[in-house]
Amino acid sequence: MNPSSPTSSTPNTLTIVTRESRLAMWQAHHIRDRLSVLYPQMQVKILGTTTRGDEILDQSLSKIGGKGLFVKELEVALHDGSADIAVHSLKDVPMNLPEGFTLACVTERERAQDAFISNTYHSLEDLPQGAVVGTSSLRRSAQIQARFPHIKIVALRGNLDTRFRKLDEGQFDAMILAAAGLIRLGLGERVRSLIPLEYALPAAGQGALGIEIAAHRTDLLPILQPLLCADTFACTAAERAVSRALGGSCQTPLAAHAIIDHDEIWLRASIALPDGSRVLHAQARGARDHAEDIGAQVVADLNAQGAQEILSALATWVAPEPTA
């Protein structure tokens, strides 16, 4: 893509606010580098900050507030003007942003699937009776437990280095993490296999980056437009429609994944009880400019199968504590 010509609307400086985790910093630098190519006359700075989700590592996300814990402090920087844009893993962005903020751009998606990581086994099928698998996600846990009831799922928190240390020390036989983050950090060689979508659908937005701005900063929209991936935007809009309607959060074992197939959106979704004893599936297809409608079709199907009963049961479910 050719660099954009300077315009009166292109600022001299643009500041990206991000979490300070390795992956978040990679994502921010990735967006900075793309913007710097597009607008070489614009200085792009990165402002790192620590969110509450980064600080609380001894409790499950489902207990301490879920996805919003990784976003709120970044929104403070957007609100007070110390930053212009916030770069997020889209799967961490709440389905309903607070008033005054908007999702301005969704970039091209990396692999959306979950990754199987193990020093001993090649895939989930290879795990023996009683094998211990670590994951931070109720969604992954429920779907995998349903298909592989003979393995033991253990809640896992901590940064990436901590998680790999626990695996290498033998605390787990395997871990399940998002493939996109590992690939972006150059850790793809630790992935033994990708988990088939038939086994576990990803979270809504998994593998995509979302750029958030203060709603009044409409001047930033044309600057960010070249970063937008239309296919990813359409697919994640359908996924997030499902999650929004069913209250998708870290407390809900809800999955949604869409692709463009024969120029249509093909959306698949599931919702489950945390122990995997009940998993509902639904899918729908439709025109890419009807993402919200396709999501609504899937939600209606899931509700007809009993999704609201699962949501009611989740209200009294207690999340297990993560390993130390």
Distance between CA atoms of 266 and 231, rounded to whole angstroms? 12
Per-residue confidence (pLDDT) for residue 251, from 0 to 100: 77
pLDDT band at 136 (very low <50, low <70, confident <90, very high): confident
Closest CA relative to residue 73, chosen from 21, 140, 31, 138 = 21
DSSP-derived pairing of the beta strands 264-272 and 254-261: antiparallel
At position 172, the amino acid (one-letter code) is F
Query: pTM of this prediction?
Result: 0.88
213: which 2 tokens? 């701005």
pLDDT digits (tens, 9 = 90+) for 223-267: 999 999 999 999 999 999 999 999 856 678 999 999 999 999 999
Per-residue confidence (pLDDT) for residue 57, from 0 to 100: 44
Closest CA relative to residue 86, chosen from 209, 218, 238, 227 = 209
Per-residue confidence (pLDDT) for residue 249, from 0 to 100: 62
Per-residue confidence (pLDDT) for residue 9, from 0 to 100: 73
Q: How many CB atoms lie within 10 A of CB 123?
A: 15
Over residues 106-111, mean pLDDT: 96
- Return the sign of the alpha-carbon dihedral for residues 177, 178, 181, 183: positive
At residue 261, φ and ψ (nearest 5 deg) are -130, 120
Q: Which residue has the higher pLDDT, 281 or 159?
A: 281
pLDDT digits (tens, 9 = 90+) for 255-314: 999 999 999 999 999 999 999 999 999 999 999 999 999 999 999 999 999 999 999 998
| 65 membership: H or E segment, kind and range | none
| 261 membership: H or E segment, kind and range | strand 254-261
Average pLDDT, the chain: 90
Per-residue confidence (pLDDT) for residue 64, from 0 to 100: 38
Q: Which fold has domain 242-314?
A: Double Stranded RNA Binding Domain (3.30.160)
pLDDT band at 191 (very low <50, low <70, confident <90, very high): very high
Q: How many CB atoms lie within 10 A of CB 125?
A: 11
- Residue 80 among the catalytic residues: no
Q: Which residue has the higher pLDDT, 105 or 72?
A: 105
Per-residue confidence (pLDDT) for residue 58, from 0 to 100: 44
DSSP letter string over 263-320? Answer: TEEEEEEEEE-TTSS-EEEEEEEEEGGGHHHHHHHHHHHHHHHTHHHHHHHHTT--PP
Per-residue confidence (pLDDT) for residue 157, from 0 to 100: 77
| 214 membership: H or E segment, kind and range | strand 209-214
Question: For the chain, what are the domain ranges?
Answer: 13-108+208-228, 114-194, 242-314
pLDDT digits (tens, 9 = 90+) for 118-133: 999 999 999 999 999 9
Q: Decide if 84 contacts 217 (C-beta within 8 A).
A: yes
Over residues 122-151, mean pLDDT: 95
Closest CA relative to residue 194, chosen from 170, 178, 216 = 178
Q: Are 114-194 and 242-314 in the same CATH fold?
A: no
Secondary-structure class of domain 13-108+208-228 per CATH: alpha beta
At residue 251, φ and ψ (nearest 5 deg) are -85, -5
Cβ-based burial of 29 (10 A; exposed 0-12, middle 13-18, buried ≥19): middle
CATH no. for 114-194: 3.40.190.10
Q: Decide if 14 contacts 84 (C-beta within 8 A).
A: yes
pLDDT band at 2 (very low <50, low <70, confident <90, very high): very low
pLDDT digits (tens, 9 = 90+) for 63-98: 434 455 567 889 999 999 999 999 999 998 988 999
Per-residue confidence (pLDDT) for residue 3, from 0 to 100: 47
| Annotated active-site residue in 92, 126, 161, 219 | 92
Distant-in-sequence, close-in-space partners of 313: CB < 8 Å, separation ≥ 6: 273
pLDDT band at 55 (very low <50, low <70, confident <90, very high): very low
Count how many Cα atoms sit within 13 Å of the Cα of residue 265 in the half-sphere of its side chain: 30
**CA angle at residue 137 from 135 to 138, to 5 degrees?**
115
Per-residue confidence (pLDDT) for residue 247, from 0 to 100: 82
Q: Which residue has the higher pLDDT, 9 or 296?
A: 296
